[in-house]
Amino acid sequence: MKKRSNRGFTLVEMLVVMGLIGLLLALMTGALKYVQSTAWQARSQELVSNVATALTVYIQREGTWPDEILSSGGVVNNEVCKVLQQARLLDVTTVINTNGVVSINQNSPERFGLLSPWGQRLVRQNPKMQASLGALPSDTQMVRHMLQFRVDTTLDGKIDSEDAQLGAILGNASVIRASAIVWACGPNGKEDGNTGAKKSRENRQSWGGGEK
């Protein structure tokens, strides 16, 4: 009659198993981060395209740009969101209408303006920003995560790179045939341009190519 073995795991076997578990967890974490990044890039592109379309339709319909857009500094802040929301061109909740009185909706994530997914994460991670009732945070990192835009102020159907910031964005192209262009930065909040450093793959823009 054979004796039953009571032999347990050796230290080496336990270390091997723990190593395999750690490797599997690392692979799963990497895969989850990739899926999240891909989803956020898609959402960022959707926001950029929606704002570009809203601005284009607005100028085609109204024939002139309102002061809120011209004085925004090229940032899709809550005033720009409010104009496009009231024109029923952008589905946001920046303002609420209470008995004919229009005011900023302090419970809306768009109370700051239109943020990229990475900017929205920044707000969720910062309790002070979550509780803030201010229209636009002074934090420069937050502002960099807001969607940026330029419009055709001369109404000649094109946007050129005379603006220094826009020149870095357009890169080799000096003219874009559009009434409005919109872009969003990736997780680092930097535009990274088309000149010099390699353009971040997470950055999103509303235009394809341009003219030299």
Does 59 map to a domain? yes
Could you identify the residue written with the tokens 């969720």? Answer: 124
Whether pLDDT at 153 is above 50: yes
For residue 87, what are the domain limits? Answer: 37-205
Phi, psi of 60 (to 5 degrees): -70, -35
Does 113 map to a domain? yes
What are the pLDDT digits (tens) for 63-87? 999 999 999 888 998 889 889 988 9
Does 86 map to a domain? yes
The pLDDT of residue 195? 37
What are the pLDDT digits (tens) for 154-175? 888 888 766 545 666 666 556 7
End-to-end CA separation in angstroms for the chain: 90
The answer, as to whether pTM is greater than 0.85, is: no
Angstrom distance (rounded) from CA 84 to CA 193: 28
Does 157 map to a domain? yes
Does 17 map to a domain? no
The pLDDT of residue 62? 93
What are the pLDDT digits (tens) for 104-138? 787 777 788 888 888 888 777 776 665 554 544 55
What are the pLDDT digits (tens) for 26-67? 877 777 777 878 888 888 999 999 999 999 999 999 999 999
Q: How many domains does the chain divide into?
A: 1
> Strand, coil or helix: what is 212?
coil
Average pLDDT of the chain, as a whole number: 78
Residues 191 and 185 sit within 8 Å (Cβ to Cβ): yes
Does 12 map to a domain? no
Does 164 map to a domain? yes
